[in-house]
Amino acid sequence: MKASKAKTVDEFIAESPEETRPVVEQIRKIVKQAVPEVEETMGYGKPYYKYHGWMTGVTLYTKHLGIEMWGGLSDSDRAELEKLGYKTGSKNFQVLYNQEVPAELLTRLVKAQASSNKQKDSK
């Protein structure tokens, strides 16, 4: 999908295809629960979440969305995601619109990225 011109995540979700909305809302909820102080913003035409720096973002595609972890995924994170049936890259993983979002794992990844960002920011 092309980059959105939405100025807020609410606008982004409203203009997104109907089948994508519940998945994006679920990711949004997971991120906000994992890091209550997170800043929600739009960047590069997609939703991003910041906490002491860039943390995670969501990109929509035709049949899946990509969840980007700014600091990348470790080999063990990729192996765990792949074992659960998700395709992975060095910094992201794909969730098909008919797949469950790996809430527990995403929570752990987001918290780890937030902690890493905060440590770097305090130096």
d(CA 44, CA 68): 13
Question: What percent of the chain is modeled with pLDDT above 90?
Answer: 88
How far are the Cα atoms of 3, 30, 32, 118 from residue 78, in angstroms, in the given order?
26, 19, 23, 23
Residue 113, CB-side half-sphere exposure with 13 Å CA sphere:
28
What is the helix (H) or strand (E) element at residue 76, kind and residue range? helix 75-83
pLDDT digits (tens, 9 = 90+) for 65-123: 999 999 999 999 999 999 999 999 999 999 999 999 999 999 999 999 999 999 887 66
The sign one gets for the Cα dihedral 113, 114, 119, 123 is positive
CATH class given for the domain over 9-118 = alpha beta
pTM comes to 0.92
